Amino acid sequence: MVAFPPCKINLGLHILHKRTDGYHALETCFYPVPWTDILEVIPSDTLAFSQSGDTIPGDPHDNLCLRAYHLLQKDFTLPPVRIHLHKIIPTGAGLGGGSSDGAYTLRLLNDLFNLNLAPAALAAYAAQLGSDCAFFTQDAPQLGTGRGEILTNIGISLKGKFLVLAKPPIHVSTAEAYAGITPATPATPLTQILTQEPLAAWKGKLHNDFEASVFARHPSIEPLREKLYRAGAVYASMSGSGAAVFGIFDKGVDLAFDPGVLHWSGVLTR
Ligand SMILES: C[C@@](CO)(OP(=O)(O)O)[C@H](O)COP(=O)(O)OP(=O)(O)OC[C@H]1O[C@@H](n2ccc(N)nc2=O)[C@H](O)[C@@H]1O
Ligand SMILES: Nc1ncnc2c1ncn2[C@@H]1O[C@H](COP(=O)(O)OP(=O)(O)O)[C@@H](O)[C@H]1O
């Protein structure tokens, strides 16, 4: 079985407060983007994981695909599988690529072995892999609250809009990005902006709380966001904890980036 795990962007990201478990309470809108990895899971004699494409930092044994397998293995007697991941989504980008791979491994195992896990049960397993993972068990944009694992469909759609994503050669660690934040209560709740204001009014109203501290530490990121605005983006922002930035356009644009800046552009399909 083959799947194409997508990445996500965050439309607004408010860090509300630090919780007693060390995580931060947040509100964000996760939006799926069809810049995808390629993931294959097939039955095999022994459990094996292989990887091609971009290099993933860290020990392959800790890859979220394998962690997803071991998580389900605890509750179901899963036969061994061979997992191959072709990595395309940039890592350490705020695009949730690793989270998506983990969640899609759960989805493929559920289908392959007829585990009959409903979307809510899959989401609960995914949340054990990482705060962002539950979103990737869903097929539509979601408001994320709690530590990101409580999901609500708020019916927002940018289908048909043109998106440009650009990731400079900077790796931002999620944990480090959270450490640089002073949580605060937002002046306006995120859902109010997203559901009551048109896209054209988001600039200056919809904020990613990571931007200020990450832009200060990595001065090359903000100019990329400004480049997207200069090219005609209706709204542009850093995604998640960075370093990727995205611009939403009413029509297609053809942008050139400096060498080393990974980029993707295309029409949003969901
Ligand atoms: C910031 C966000 C925004 O969507 O995405 P990325 O920019 O990483 O893609 C997410 O909150 C990232 O979620 P995820 O990458 O799954 O994080 P996890 O593996 O659960 O946690 C990694 C570390 O980030 C911090 N963390 C994460 C989530 C959260 N709500 N509060 C936190 O403080 C903790 O220090 C934790 O140890
Ligand atoms: N399948 C995977 N793809 C990418 N990273 C992975 C994967 N499995 C584990 N990781 C680890 O997770 C870290 C963050 O991954 P990623 O989801 O790409 O970043 P972000 O949190 O910025 O969205 C990587 O640096 C890597 O060590």
Give per-residue pLDDT as tens, 258-267: 999 999 999 9
Would you call the peptide bond into 121 cis, given omega within 30 degrees of 0 as the criterion?
A: no
Q: What is the DSSP string of 163-213?
A: EEEEE-S----HHHHHHT------SS-HHHHHHHS-GGG-TTTS-BTTHHH
Residues shown for the chain: 270
Question: Class of the 162-267 domain?
Answer: alpha beta
pLDDT of residue 270: 86
Handedness of CA 63, 69, 73, 74 (dihedral sign): positive
Q: Which ligand 1 atom is the nearest neighbour of the CA of 26?
A: 30
Percentage of the residues of the chain whose pLDDT score is greater than 90: 94
Is ligand 2 within 6 A of the CB of residue 7? no
pLDDT digits (tens, 9 = 90+) for 54-100: 999 999 999 999 999 999 999 998 999 999 999 999 998 999 999 99
Q: Which ligand 1 atom is the nearest neighbour of the CA of 10?
A: 4
CB 92 within 8 A of CB 57: yes
The residue whose CB lies within 8 Å of the most ligand 2 atoms, and thus the one to mutate among 56, 62, 147, 173, is 56
Ligand 1 centroid distance, CA of 45 (Å)? 35
Is ligand 2 within 6 A of the CB of residue 97? yes
The tokens describing 34, both together, are 């069809």
Is ligand 2 within 6 A of the CB of residue 129? no
CB 210 within 8 A of CB 13: yes
pLDDT digits (tens, 9 = 90+) for 105-121: 999 999 999 999 999 99
Percentage of the residues of the chain whose pLDDT score is greater than 70: 100
ipTM: 0.97
Q: Residue 122's pLDDT band (boundaries 50, 70, 90)?
A: very high
CATH ID of 2-152, from 3.30.230.10, 3.30.1600.10, 3.40.50.300, 3.40.50.1370:
3.30.230.10
The catalytically annotated residue of 37, 87, 101, 132 is: 132
Q: Which ligand 2 atom is the nearest neighbour of the CA of 90?
A: 18
Which residue spans of the chain are classified as CATH 3.30.230.10? 2-152
Mark whether 254 is an active-site residue.
Answer: no
Strands 48-53 and 81-87: parallel
Mean pLDDT of 38-65: 96
Which residue spans of the chain are classified as CATH 3.30.70.890? 162-267
